[in-house]
Structure 1
Amino acid sequence: MAVNPEDYSRPKRDRFVAFVSLRNRNFRLYAIGSLIATMALQMQTLAQNYLVYDLTDQATAIGYVSLALGVAILFCSLAGGVAADRLPKRNLLMAGRLGIGLFALFIGVMISTGLIAVWQIVVASLATGIIAGFTMPAQQSYVPDLVGEKNLMNALALSSGIMNITRIGGPALAGILIAAFDVGPVYYIKFFAYCIFAVILLFIPITGKAVASAQTANSPMKDALDGFRYLRGERTLLSLLIVGLLPVILAMPYVNFLPVFQKEVFQVGEAELGLMMSMVGGGAVAGALLVASLTDYKYKGRVLVISGLGFGVTLTLLGVVAGPETFVLSLVVLVFTGAFGTAFMALNQALMLTITPPEMRGRVAGLFMMTFGLQPFGAMPIGILIDAAGAPPVIACFGGATLLFFIIVTIFMPRIRGL
């Protein structure tokens, strides 16, 4: 039988290309620790929103708690970005996980002793936001140190995928635990999970190098100003930051108000709330895996814009179809909402860090995390409007605003489409 010589010369496509970064031992350890900690975080997020709404019967109260977290992240992320470029990222991550775990333990004890009050949750959220703001830039810029430049986009997308895998099982498990044992055990689980992550980080060697200014007379303030100057001079990077900002404010807060849909719109129990969050997580995993497979794809900017448009459409659709008789249909919509939203955010972040030189990644990650600190500034008015007009019409309006924004981006920002 004749053999075609081209069969030997044609490179074979790796069927596991979406998971190539997991062949790296250090990234694999990081991924395991991140999986454990993020599973607990997703459980605690649902439990906290449920607890606050159960204590107050006000969606606005959820907004207050989110605002405390977001303001702290907003004002601490830039300092965290400077720290990430000057100090060992692994050590920053370890300290941050332990600190956040201790505040989860505090809230768990308050719940178990019957002393819990909303103001305590607000204070704990503020403290958690300060720690997260100071350490999350290190977490975002740590991945490139682990995998190098070649597999950077794949590893960043996989990190997002790992986070969103936990959105499938985490909320569902939290719903079951809340129904069976109340909210307290969820906070204890978060404490132990974050401690485990800190221990796993000990087995990863310190990698990456601090910027030269860390060994010279340059002050942290000068490093921060250098980060702003770099961003101002990089028009593509600035465009990506702006495009990522509006969805964080207009669209991302919808997840915080799913307990309102559960209790007031669908009129179902805690287990169904966990199922709602799991549907969002399932879609989000699909969106993250899509981005992970785009390493060699030329038209990433087009995928970014299409993802944003899809996010706006599905969020609007959720507000339109949600009702007491449409729970199953709404679950389907939530799957697509999670897929489009995560594909957009993961690809936006990956593009930003890919085009940023290693010595600036901590500060750029800090600026990127500042946008997440603005999310509660959307959550607050959304919560107020939901208390006044109900969840479905408010979410539909904010979804429509998101869709309009991405239509404008598609028409007037060819720089983004051309990436």
Structure 2
Amino acid sequence: MFSSLRIRNYRLFFSGQVVSNIGTWMQRIAQDWLVFSLSDHSPVALGMAVALQFTPTLFLSLWAGVLADRVDKRRLLIGIQAAVVLQATVLGVLDVTGFAQLWHVYLLCFTFGCTGALEVPTRQSFVGEMVGRDQITNAVALNSTIFNMARIVGPAIAGFVITWVGTGWLFIANAASTVAVIAGLVMMNPDKLFRGPAVPREKGQLRAGLRYVRRRSDLMTVMGLVFFVSTFGITYFTSLAVVAANVFHTQADGYGLLSTLLAVGTLTGALMAARRGTRGGPSVRLLLLAAFSLGALEFATAFMPTYLAFGIALIPLGYATITFLNTANALVQTAVSPEMRGRVMGIYVLVLIGGSPLGAPMTGWLAAEFGGRSAFYVGGGISAIVAVVAAIILLRRGGVKLTARRFGRQRVLTRR
């Protein structure tokens, strides 16, 4: 289950992420609650903040993938993390001193989005350089494990800290935790990285990446499914604050507990993905099953009558969500050649996150007009339907038993 941790460079990265992801989740909860407080509990304002944070992905993620293929990924990540430290510190100081206004948070959400649009495709494509092709599936699952472990710890801490001292110190704590990532990157041995051939700077590299994906019907199928499920189905993360406050009338600690229960499911799913990663490659059959389960469970969760029942229902929903996301990520990463990985992951991040500027305001509008539960049954219904449509398309093309296998020196998705 932990085979990729035998590699020292990845252990350093993993250790830094353990600390930093807890800080990231504390900041996410604090940011949502700060926007909610400054806007007099407006779901639309919360949706706008999320949209601003993810809008830069539309414009920067493809270029970030090209950049990641051209430059030293480790050094690029160090610079990006330094910018995150600065941004979190500014927001924390504004909040602690009482000067924070809603437009300040909106502006910093946008700047966080800019660094995130650069960081995510770079970090995801860097995983292959740290562990090599044979360990990518396991490393992706372990990354998800620590991310979701932090999702349990971070919101639980954040909920109580907000109740005691407010949101400001959580932003400063996130800035401090990000230093751990920088330290791990600095301590790595560059000579031990599994780097592909250098990609020289030349015209048309972005178009080449787009053509590469367009000509691969397997990648197009996976990315299309990811776009619809992430845009309409996985927006429920944003809705939790609305449900906690407006449906069940709890405070920040109630919101933190719902996030923690969701994270129990995602952590369990991530651990199972890590276990599967040591036994074989990911499959599109599992991806389709996870997508449909995510939609069906989200739809059912919308109708849970009590706070406790709603919270318990989030556990299997979290399991299905992380199974879907991990399988999609591993399928894409194992399907591409190393010199294209940065650009393909840039496209993947675009379809994964790029729909948030549409999905987040839609979620806020649904919650304001039809109640906090509405985003769950609408998003769940869309996800389940899209999964069925994708399965039908694959069946008509000859079957859904798709898996990643070795083809020459690279892994490709094949139909059999």
Calculate the TM-score normalised by the size of structure 2.
0.92
The structure-2 alpha-carbon separation of the partners of 1:103 and 1:45, relative to structure 1 and needing over 3 Å to count, comes to: same
Which residue type is aligned with residue 279 of structure 1?
L
The separation in 2 between residues aligned to 1:139 and 1:46, in whole angstroms, is 23
Which residue type is aligned with residue 150 of structure 1?
D
Which residue type is aligned with residue 364 of structure 1?
V
1:249-398 maps to which residues of 2 (within 5 A)? 249-295=231-277, 296-297=279-280, 300-321=283-304, 323=305, 326-371=306-351, 372-398=353-379
Aligned to 2:24, which of 41, 44, 54?
41
SS at match of 2:235: helix
Matched, 1:113 2:97: yes
Q: Deviations over 1:291-341 (max 9, x none)?
A: 2222334772221111111100111111111x4xx1111111101111100
Which residue type is aligned with residue 354 of structure 1?
T
The structure-2 alpha-carbon separation of the partners of 1:213 and 1:135, relative to structure 1 and needing over 3 Å to count, comes to: same
Match of 1:194 in 2: 178
Match of 1:26 in 2: 9
Match of 2:127 in 1: 143
Aligned to 1:408, which of 382, 385, 389?
389
The separation in 1 between residues aligned to 2:102 and 2:355, in whole angstroms, is 21
Match of 2:211 in 1: 229
Matched, 1:240 2:222: yes
Aligned residues: 395
The separation in 1 between residues aligned to 2:341 and 2:137, in whole angstroms, is 14
Match of 2:189 in 1: 205
Post-superposition offset of 1:227: 0.4
Q: Deviations over 1:241-287 (max 9, x none)?
A: 11111111011111112111111111222222111111111110111
1:83-122 maps to which residues of 2 (within 5 A)? 83-122=67-106
Alpha carbons 1:213, 1:223 under 8 Å: kept: no
Q: Deviations over 1:227-250 (max 9, x none)?
A: 011111111111111111111101
Match of 1:15 in 2: none
The separation in 1 between residues aligned to 2:313 and 2:69, in whole angstroms, is 40
SS at match of 1:267: coil
The structure-2 alpha-carbon separation of the partners of 1:123 and 1:152, relative to structure 1 and needing over 3 Å to count, comes to: same
SS at match of 2:302: helix
SS at match of 1:391: coil
The structure-2 alpha-carbon separation of the partners of 1:160 and 1:416, relative to structure 1 and needing over 3 Å to count, comes to: farther
The separation in 1 between residues aligned to 2:281 and 2:236, in whole angstroms, is 32
Post-superposition offset of 1:417: 4.2
Matched, 1:50 2:30: no
The separation in 1 between residues aligned to 2:274 and 2:2, in whole angstroms, is 8
Alpha carbons 1:27, 1:146 under 8 Å: kept: yes
The separation in 2 between residues aligned to 1:346 and 1:280, in whole angstroms, is 16
Larger Rg: 1
SS at match of 2:312: helix
SS at match of 1:116: coil
Aligned to 1:162, which of 146, 158, 177?
146
The separation in 2 between residues aligned to 1:389 and 1:374, in whole angstroms, is 22
Alpha carbons 2:282, 2:330 under 8 Å: kept: no
Alpha carbons 1:86, 1:211 under 8 Å: kept: no
Post-superposition offset of 1:411: 2.1
The separation in 1 between residues aligned to 2:198 and 2:181, in whole angstroms, is 30
SS at match of 2:133: coil
The structure-2 alpha-carbon separation of the partners of 1:197 and 1:298, relative to structure 1 and needing over 3 Å to count, comes to: closer
Which residue type is aligned with residue 90 of structure 2?
F
Q: Deviations over 1:49-100 (max 9, x none)?
A: 1111111121111111111111112211111101111111111111111101
**Which segments of 5 or more consecutive residues in structure 1 lack a partner in the other structure?**
1-17
The separation in 2 between residues aligned to 1:212 and 1:197, in whole angstroms, is 25
Which residue type is aligned with residue 302 of structure 1?
R
**Which segments of 5 or more consecutive residues in structure 2 lack a partner in the other structure?**
404-416
Match of 2:110 in 1: 126
The separation in 1 between residues aligned to 2:185 and 2:75, in whole angstroms, is 8
Q: Deviations over 1:327-364 (max 9, x none)?
A: 11111110111110011011101110001111111001
The structure-2 alpha-carbon separation of the partners of 1:333 and 1:268, relative to structure 1 and needing over 3 Å to count, comes to: same
Post-superposition offset of 1:289: 1.7
Which residue type is aligned with residue 336 of structure 2?
T
Post-superposition offset of 1:389: 1.1
RMSD of Structure 2 on Structure 1 (CA): 1.5
The separation in 2 between residues aligned to 1:88 and 1:113, in whole angstroms, is 39
Alpha carbons 2:68, 2:121 under 8 Å: kept: yes
Match of 1:13 in 2: none
Calculate the TM-score normalised by the size of structure 1.
0.91
The separation in 1 between residues aligned to 2:270 and 2:357, in whole angstroms, is 24
Alpha carbons 1:74, 1:369 under 8 Å: kept: no
Which residue type is aligned with residue 332 of structure 2?
M
